[in-house]
Every structure is written in C-alpha cells, then in structure tokens.
Amino acid sequence: MSIKASTCPCGSGQSYLHCCQPYLTGAQAAPTAQALMRSRYTAYTLGEVDYIVNTHHPDTRDSLDVEATRAWAAESEWRGLEIIASQGGETGDTQGGVEFIARFSQDGVEYEHHEQSRFEKLDGSWYFVEGTLVPKTVVNTGPQVGRNDPCPCGSGKKFKKCCGR
C-alpha cells in the first residue's frame, strides 16, 4: 500500500491524500500553524527535506543545518506525533505556537523530541520560526538523603556540608 492510500503519518487520522499531501506537494498552503507543524512532521517521516527548508522562516532559514536535518530524517524511524497544545496560529492569526512530542527511534533506541515551536504567517503562508526543547522532569526514585546522612557523592562529608547546600 502506498503512502497516498494510507493514514497520514501526522496522526490526524485522515488519509495522507486528504491531510498533508496537498501541503507537501505545494498544491495548498497549510491553513494553520498546527497544520504546518503536522505537515513538517510528515515531511520528516518521508524524507522530504526540501519541504522542511521551504517552510522554515526566511529570516531564520540560514540557521537550519540542511545536511543534519536530512540525516536525522533518514536515520530515524518515526513512531508518532502527539500535539500537546496550540496557542493562536489559526487562519486569522499571524503568530502561533505548537507544543508537541515527536517519537522516533534510532539504532533501536526510542526517543521523544518534546518541543515548543513558534510559527509566523507571512504573505498568507505559515513558517516555522524556532523551536525550544521542553526539559524533561526527572524524578528521583531512590531513597531520600537526610541532612546528616553521608553525602551520596562519596566525599565522606555529611550531605548538608557537601552537595546539600
């Protein structure tokens, strides 16, 4: 089965033909920042790096490492896209933001790319401006260290006089 007949990789539940294909082929411009975000994810899954470049904001396009982007797209097995939130970015807006998690694997290792992306509309077309990685919260599941306990770093000092300051 070809990608044209299958469900779109962006996770919308629609067929590729009726979802991201018109944007990737240039037949239509993405109407919202989220539609552009989804189509850019789909472009990564299909190795359509020219689309990634062309939808990168003209003012920041020079900062895009095209070869690294091409390598990341080709070397990754794309597992799915989850939209966490969208702010603005509708048809009547000129700016918008989309927070998402793109799941992928490389060399059998699973990864999550959690990003807050910023988009801008210029002359009727949406462009990706920049993305900021969302830090992952790490929860310590080990035993709690008391102030008077030996410091776990191995210094021999009490925790309160060492790393607990």
Residue 29 has pLDDT above 90, yes or no: yes
Structural domain total, the chain: 2
Instruction: Read off the pLDDT of each residue in 147-152 and give the average, rounded to a whole number.
Output: 77
Task: Verify that 34 and 82 share a domain, yes or no.
Answer: yes
pLDDT band at 1; cut points 50, 70, 90: very low
Residue 140 has pLDDT above 70, yes or no: no
Task: Verify that 128 and 155 share a domain, yes or no.
Answer: no
Task: Verify that 65 and 92 share a domain, yes or no.
Answer: yes
Give the span between the Cα atoms of 163 and 154, in whole angstroms.
10
Task: Verify that 27 and 90 share a domain, yes or no.
Answer: yes
Whole-prediction pTM value?
Answer: 0.81
Task: Verify that 76 and 56 share a domain, yes or no.
Answer: yes
Task: Verify that 120 and 45 share a domain, yes or no.
Answer: yes
Task: Verify that 101 and 143 share a domain, yes or no.
Answer: no
Cα angle 21, 24, 25 (rounded to 5 degrees) comes to 85
Q: Quick check: is 90 in a domain?
A: yes
Task: Verify that 125 and 153 share a domain, yes or no.
Answer: no
Instruction: Read off the pLDDT of each residue in 78-97 and give the average, rounded to a whole number.
Output: 98
Residue 107 CB burial class (10 angstroms; 0-12, 13-18, ≥19): exposed
Domain hosting 153: range is: 139-164
Task: Verify that 35 and 95 share a domain, yes or no.
Answer: yes
